[in-house]
């Protein structure tokens, strides 16, 4: 009986992590892709290692701050209503795709 409960807890944990990962990808596709997929208006292109390396080097916090305040052609919050936590998930998703 105790083992069955442990298995359930483990399964719930794995499902939770997968959902968090899928969130970043799903949120990216709601808005950020519009500029970042093709590299519109000077946006660092999705999964382009050379363009992302210097940004990734500044750290996730710094990148999230840039998105929150906006920069160049990117409006504050990337033009979305996303919370800071959601923006962080997307930034992590984008950074991981370019590593
Ligand atoms: C209207 C086009 C546009 C949209 C929409 C957009 N971006 Fe950007 N993004 C840019 C541009 C342009 C830059 C480059 C800014 C610069 O360096 O001058 C950029 C840069 C970035 C960077 C690098 C920041 C840094 O540290 O230099 C991140 C991370 C980023 N965007 C994430 C996002 C996320 C997340 C979203 C969706 C919530 C998003 N962007 C939506 C245009 C856009």
Tell me the whole-structure pTM to 2 decimals: 0.86
The answer to whether the CB of 47 is under 6 A from ligand 1 is no
Sorted by where each starts, the structural domains of the chain and their CATH numbers stand as 2-97 (1.10.760.10)
Rg (CA), the chain: 16
Local structure of 99: helix, strand or coil: coil
- Average pLDDT per consecutive 10 residues, the chain (99 residues; last block may be shorter): 56 54 89 96 97 98 98 97 96 97
pLDDT score for 7: 54
Mutate which of 24, 34, 35 for ligand 1? The one with the most ligand atoms within 8 Å of its CB, which is 35
d(CA 95, CA 98): 5
pLDDT score for 3: 60
The answer to whether the CB of 51 is under 6 A from ligand 1 is no
């Amino acid at each position: 009986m105790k083992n069955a409960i442990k298995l359930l807890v483990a399964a719930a944990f794995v499902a939770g992590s997968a959902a968090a990962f899928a969130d970043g990808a799903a949120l990216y596709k709601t808005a950020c892709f519009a500029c970042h997929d093709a590299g519109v208006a000077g946006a660092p292109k999705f999964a382009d290692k050379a363009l992302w390396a210097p940004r990734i080097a500044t750290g996730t916090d710094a990148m999230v701050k840039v998105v929150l305040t906006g920069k160049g052609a990117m409006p504050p919050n990337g033009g979305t209503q996303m919370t800071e936590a959601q923006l962080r998930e997307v930034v992590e998703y984008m950074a991981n795709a370019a590593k």
